[in-house]
DNA sequence: AGATTGACCGTGT
DNA sequence: GACACGGCCAATC
């Protein structure tokens, strides 16, 4: 089943997040096959080799809050998202509008 | 092999 | 709405 590591799966999924949308850590965990592994997802993002191939800035907490970004901090992360047209409410993403929804 | 850690999440007060 | 607590999973020491 899992020939590739959990981390690898997370990366693959993260790359599918469309521009202008965001996904939550829990959401990715669920998609990767471990619904409760949100923390592990966070680690994967932290260890991610390159932001240009893995859009880790499109991953936010379940409440839309921006947490962590290893390529310049929260500010940079927010700027990138704003630049992509993600809807913000103060410092949190409006998930109602900008969450990545996998339409059946 | 065991313990610790971390870019989390849900629930209760 | 803010704060505290516990649980969860994979990677790392």
Cα A53 to Cα A11, A12, A20, A58, A63, distances in angstroms: 9, 10, 16, 12, 25
Domain ranges of chain A: 6-98
A11 pLDDT higher than 80: yes
Identify whether the C-beta of residue A21 lies closer than 8 Å to the C-beta of residue A95.
Answer: no
**Is residue A93's beta carbon less than 7 angstroms from any atom in nucleic acid strand B?**
no
- pLDDT (tens digit per residue) in A52-82: 889 999 999 999 999 999 999 999 999 999 9
Residue A101 (CA) to nucleotide B5 (C1'), in angstroms, measures 31
A6-98: CATH number: 1.10.10.10
Residue A39 (CA) to nucleotide C7 (C1'), in angstroms, measures 11
A3 pLDDT higher than 80: no
A2 pLDDT higher than 90: no
């Amino acid at each position: 089943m899992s020939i590739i590591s959990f981390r690898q799966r997370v990366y693959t999924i993260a790359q599918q997040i469309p521009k202008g949308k965001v996904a939550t850590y829990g959401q990715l965990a669920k998609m990767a096959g471990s619904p409760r592994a949100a923390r592990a997802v966070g680690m994967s993002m932290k260890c991610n080799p390159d932001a240009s191939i893995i859009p880790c800035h499109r991953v936010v907490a379940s409440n839309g809050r921006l947490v962590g970004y290893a390529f310049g901090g929260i500010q940079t992360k927010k700027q990138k998202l704003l630049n992509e047209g993600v809807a913000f409410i103060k410092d949190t993403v409006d998930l109602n509008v900008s969450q990545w929804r996998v339409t059946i």
